[in-house]
Amino acid sequence: MLQLNSLSFTANADGKDAEIIRDLTLTLHDNQFIVITGPNGGGKSTLAKLIAGIEKPTAGQILFDGVDITDMSITERARLGIGFAFQQPVRFKGLTVFDLLRIAAGKTLSLSDACNYLAEVGLCAKDYIHREVNASLSGGELKRIEIATVLARNVRLALFDEPEAGIDLWSFQNLIRIFENMQKTDRNRTIIVISHQERILNIADEIIVLADGRITKQGTREQILPDIIGTNYAQNPCQKMV
Amino acid sequence: MKQIDAVQKRLLQEVADLHEIPEGAYNLRANGESVGRNTTANIDIQTKTEGSGIDIRIKPGTKKESVHIPVVLSESGLKETVYNDFFIGEDSDVLIVAGCGIDNCGTQDSQHDGIHRFYVGRNAKVRYVEKHYGSGDGSGKRILNPVTEVYMEEGASMEMEMVQIKGVDSTRRTTLAELKQDAKLVVRERLMTHGQQTAESVYKVSLNETGSSADVVSRSVARDVSFQKFDACIVGNAACTGHTECDSIIMDSGRILAVPSLEANSIDAQLVHEAAIGKIAGEQLVKLMTLGLTEAEAEEQIISGFLK
């Protein structure tokens, strides 16, 4: 479903070139739940952005269902079925939660369907559906709405960049249930989640450890998790609260 | 009612959402003359005996009634100044819809300057909606210079929604308000300018007595090489609360000058102003593009939401 061939990405910061992704080759299959972990600054978010088209690779090739999407725009990739939930969701003055869900659905969206997406992310639809996606929403609320926009799109490949950041422990279980439901409802769907959380790693079919722009480990959960458990790459949800 | 043509009908839809003759009281003015009027038991409309314009008198205690007074101009080169005075009785609760649409396909400038004066009685509640719209591809300009004066008695409240989204080449809008005890004024202005249009919006709101309050918020978008000036002054002369906010998006080579100002003449006046101008954030475009919109579609959604 997704193939990355010798992908590289160099960013220019303060006049210096920094290589964020280094000659990375990776093949991902249909109906997989993949978790990418690794140290901060290892290139995880950049890799997700390269797949969604938000960043353009400096070298290499991206194939999606066999089609070369390397030069395709964000919009074209979205229309092929790639979805992206941002680590830090954007606020919009004036656009309501319903507007965003309607845009995401790409068609006329009934109020009741929109409400279902909100209920799925644990928000009371009545309270949120007509609210503006502006600074009056908390980080946690925004994050859940961000996830709802991906649910509303019914994508083939869903990318979630640290979906758990900013949401409370209560909704952690909810989040995992969302991922499980997404996979149940479409057997062809692949989900890529960037996360350090042990609970999310625990439901992965495949785990990839990315460090310094390279894949340092890749394999099934059974193969990889024992090696990284207890490290910063696989944190217990309570760890950050200590 | 006299016949109105298709262009005038379209203008009416734009400025007053009118597809048919409105219910309740109305006065319809087309190309400089009154072409239709209806009064009700509680709302009277009279042509001024001196000068151009009408007096609208709303009886005390009138509830849930509306007055529509749209103006349409479809003749090139027409210039008019009209005085409309509203006398709103105590304890009434009414909706007033005004608005002006100009279609100018000719080479001469068309101009409508409407001067609206509102005398809002004690504890009366008014919602006022005013839309301005221009169309036509002639080289003649479409010019609107509205002046709105509001005099509010004790406990009166007024909510004003002023919208100008399209087609007006030049506008200078002036709004003056004076508020007595516990009176409350809320203004929501939405403005978009294109091409070489210029729009100036000036407010002076005087909070003269204890408990009076005003909230003046403008959201605007300046595109192409258009220019806007937002000049809002709230004067606190007593224990009062005032807030003014100008929130703008600039695109292309659009320019905006925001001049919010506050004048406190009483130690108990609480006044706040905010102004923010900027282009559409790149990350907002990216987010909507990941939902499948093109960049142009994303821009359109962001702007229509902002000006909603």
pLDDT tens digits, A68-109: 999 999 999 999 999 999 999 999 988 999 999 999 998 888
Taking CA–CA distances from B285, the nearest residue in chain A reads: A90
Given a cut of 60, whether residue A239 has pLDDT beyond it is no
pLDDT tens across the length of chain B (308 residues):
556 777 777 777 777 776 666 778 999 888 888 888 999 999 999 999 888 889 999 999 999 999 999 888 888 888 888 999 999 999 999 999 988 888 888 888 888 888 999 999 999 999 999 988 888 877 888 888 899 999 999 999 999 999 988 888 899 999 999 999 999 999 999 999 998 999 999 999 999 999 999 999 999 999 999 999 999 999 999 999 999 999 999 999 999 999 999 999 999 999 999 999 999 999 999 999 999 999 999 999 999 999 98
A106 interfaces chain B, CB cutoff of 8 Å: yes
**Euclidean distance between CA atoms B303 and A62, whole angstroms:** 33
- Chain A interface test: which of B192, B287, B299, B301 (most A C-beta within 10 Å): B287
Domains of chain A and any CATH numbers: 2-241 (3.40.50.300)
Q: How many CA atoms lie within 13 A of A91 on its CB side?
A: 12
| pTM of structure | 0.85
Taking CA–CA distances from A150, the nearest residue in chain B reads: B291
Cβ–Cβ below 8 Å for B290 and A89 = no
Residue A241 binned pLDDT confidence (cut-offs 50, 70, 90): very low
**Euclidean distance between CA atoms B287 and A53, whole angstroms:** 11
CA distance A102 to chain B (A): 10
pLDDT winner (highest mean) among A166-170, A178-182, B1-5, B44-48: B44-48
Contacts of B289 in chain A (CB under 8 A): 73-75, 78
- Chain A interface test: which of B290, B301, B302 (most A C-beta within 10 Å): B290
Q: Name the residue among B283, B292, B301 with its Cβ closest to that of A75.
A: B292
How many interface pairs between A and B have CB atoms less than 8 angstroms apart?
60
SS (H, E, C) chain B: CCCCCHHHHHHHHHHHCCCCCCCCEEEEEECCEEEEEECCCCEEEEECCCCCEEEEEECCCCEEEEEEEEEEECCCCCEEEEEEEEEECCCCEEEEEEEEEEECCCCCCEEEEEEEEEEECCCCEEEEEEEEEEECCCCCCEEECCEEEEEECCCCEEEEEEEEEECCCEEEEEEEEEECCCCEEEEEEEEEECCCCEEEEEEEEEECCCCCEEEEEEEEEECCCCEEEEEEEEEECCCCEEEEEEEEEECCCCEEEECCEEEECCCCCEEEEEEEEECCCHHHHHHHHHCCCCHHHHHHHHHHHHCC
pLDDT tens digits, A183-227: 888 778 899 999 988 889 999 999 999 999 999 999 999 999 888
Q: Name the residue among B291, B295, B306 with its Cβ closest to that of A103.
A: B291
Q: What residue ranges do the domains of chain B occupy?
A: 6-282
Report the DSSP beta bridge partners of residue A7.
A24
Cβ–Cβ below 8 Å for A153 and B291 = yes
**Euclidean distance between CA atoms A158 and A34, whole angstroms:** 10
**Euclidean distance between CA atoms A51 and A149, whole angstroms:** 18
